Chain A
Amino acid sequence: MSATNTAPLLALERLSVRYGGVTALRSLDLVVHHGELVTLLGSNGAGKSTTLRAISQLVPAAAGTLRWNGGVINGLPTERTVKLGIAHCPEGRRARQSVADNLELGAWLRRDRNAIRRDLERCYSLFPRLAERRTQAAGSLSGGEQQMLAIGRALMAQPTLLMLDEPSLGLAPKLVAEVMGALSNLHADGLTILLVEQNAQAALDIADRGYVLEAGELSLEGSAAELLGNPALREAYLGTG
């Protein structure tokens, strides 16, 4: 057990992913330690979503190793990664069912009814807008509310690691701040988070560390403060030369 305690929660070692003949991710090394908020930055098509999909085993790793608490998890079925404690918030959303049904579905693997009810209330206090709309169909929510719903649903699985795929996508600046604020609070409560973002400024403002992908390869990594001060990154992603 002592070995697993010191191992990072999640470690990607020289991970590569290919779609047909196209290499989407090339030899990526990335670690997430317990309690960290790590952000994965890059432009469209850089391989950020692919990284999350590989961790959730939605796409197979063409090469390299995926470790969870030190143990290799390559080839595990997706639903088993959820059991391990990995919650992956994808970009898509379930539209037809109500907000409450959606949240409850997030707890599908759990059987502790009382704790589920408590977590449901916690979700509503984290995102009061969801509480107001609990009987509404998820498809009728605004973009920001849908994003909150997706995060809330992922939290209902009581994850050890929360992975988010561009939660700020298409949101007004005020809502981006609200979503990032919620993530920051969850991080402060001890949740480990891997945040994929194009909005580098918003992500680095709340992150401990960051990685930058470019065309499927790692181009930069460092603490959030280092990355925020990096001239190359500022020019490429923050729009300030």
Chain B
Amino acid sequence: MQDLTQLLLNGLSTGAVYALFALGYTLVFSVLGVINFAHGAVFTLGAYFTYFLIGGAAGANGLLAGLQLPFALPFWLALPLAGLGAAAVALLIERTAFAPLRQRNADPLLALITSLGAGVVLVNLIQLLVGAESYAIPTGALAGLPAAVRIGGAQVRSVQLLLLLVAAVLLTLLTLWIDGTRSGKGLRAVSEDPTTARLLGIPSDRMIQIAFGLSGFLAGIAGGLVGLSVSIAGPYFGIGYGLKGLGVLVLGGLGSVPGAVLGGLIIGLAEACVPADLSGYRDVVAYGFLFVVLLVRPQGLLGRVLPSKV
């Protein structure tokens, strides 16, 4: 029983990160119809932003060696600020890697290449500035919270609970926003048919920027939380998550918000079921699962059969 609780919570908290990640992809995909391959780098930046905002110092191997901010914020303040910083970077990526192509009426698929390029630039920039070493966000950052709590006899790290909680709150807010607000409805309209949306007076450019900003915010928060949970493994830290997020996206169904959440939780749980001594096979389980589902449902779990678009 206690093993099961442990396993469930491990799976759910990993899955929550995947869901946040996949939602960022989904937001951009729904308005532009392309994957933003720089998303993983934004997630990575969110982790570094959090690290520096809580007062962490840069290592010896980058241009910023030894740099430390003159203040140290508490984690609960640093995390949303890191999210905002990541959102700003995502907006910058939109302006540089996406908007110029759109203004020239280029094939949207070209944005795959430019966003991949933007991601590579960001990752290398991080390496140049702070080096390739790993950074640990001290768990002491969660001052006042015990390192672990007992739930149903299982030892659960507070970080994992926090991850679950934050993810749940953000996902709920996002869903409410999409369904209940004027901009959310505008975003949906642009995602269904950008031309018709413009003919209704909905500024598609602004909606695209909102989608990028939100996706960057979600990625930044996810990065900060994962950095706290397992430490920042280096500039390439986000890439593995980025690939997993893509798998989640395809599993849930491209462009579906509930699909991204469901897909994230399923892959997180599937991975948690892999015994610790076989943990090297986690990705096999995750992608194998994806493979089987796609054989049966090529459009993903909650995806619709894509209408042929001219």
Contacts and interface: CB of A to CB of B under 8 A. Distances in A.
Given A108-B185, A108-B186, A153 B200 contact: yes
A94 B203 contact: no
B196 A92 contact: yes
A149 B191 CA distance: 19
A78 B205 CA distance: 11
B198 A79 contact: yes
Interface in A77-117: 77-79, 82-83, 87-88, 90, 92-97, 101, 104-106, 108-109
Nearest to A84: B201
Interface in A45-81: 56, 58, 77-79
A97 B188 contact: yes
Contact of B185 (A56, A87, A90, A105): A105
A153 B185 CA distance: 15
B231 to A, nearest CB: 43
B199 A78 contact: yes
Contacts of A153: 200
B267 interface: no
Contacts of B203: 77, 79
Interface string A145-168: 000000001000100000000000
Contacts of B198: 58, 78-79, 82
A166 to B, nearest CB: 15
A34 to B, nearest CB: 21
B200 A157 contact: yes
A94 B201 contact: no
Given A108-B182, A108-B185, A108-B186, A96 B192 contact: yes
B189 interface: yes
26 contacts: A77-B203, A78-B199, A79-B202, A79-B204, A82-B198, A82-B201, A83-B201, A87-B199, A90-B195, A90-B199, A92-B196, A93-B196, A94-B193, A94-B196, A95-B307, A97-B188, A97-B192, A104-B185, A105-B185, A105-B189, A108-B182, A108-B186, A108-B189, A109-B200, A109-B201, A157-B200
A-B residue pairs, 7 tightest by C-beta? A82-B201, A109-B201, A78-B198, A79-B203, A88-B199, A79-B201, A94-B192
Contact of A108 (B192, B193, B195, B201): B201
Contacts of B185: 101, 104-105, 108
A64 to B, nearest CB: 21
B304 to A, nearest CB: 8
Nearest to A87: B199
Contact of B199 (A56, A96, A97, A101): A56
The size class of the interface chain B forms with chain A is 10 to 19
Contact of A157 (B182, B186, B188, B201): B201
A17 to B, nearest CB: 15
A152 to B, nearest CB: 12
Interface residues of chain A: helix, strand, loop or mixed (majority): loop
B308 to A, nearest CB: 13
Interface string B169-208: 0000000000000100110110011011011111110000
Given A58-B195, A78-B199, A83-B201, 19 more contacts: A58-B199, A79-B204, A82-B198, A82-B199, A82-B200, A88-B199, A90-B195, A90-B199, A92-B193, A92-B196, A94-B192, A94-B193, A95-B307, A105-B189, A105-B200, A106-B200, A108-B182, A108-B200, A108-B201
Contacts of B199: 56, 58, 78, 82, 87-88, 90
Select the residue from A87, A96, A97, A105 with max chain B CB neighbours within 10 A. Answer: A105
Contacts of B200: 82, 105-106, 108-109, 153, 157
A163 to B, nearest CB: 9
Contacts of B186: 108
A185 B192 CA distance: 31
B257 to A, nearest CB: 13
Interface string B193-229: 1011011111110000000000000000000000000
A95 B196 CA distance: 12
A218 B269 CA distance: 66
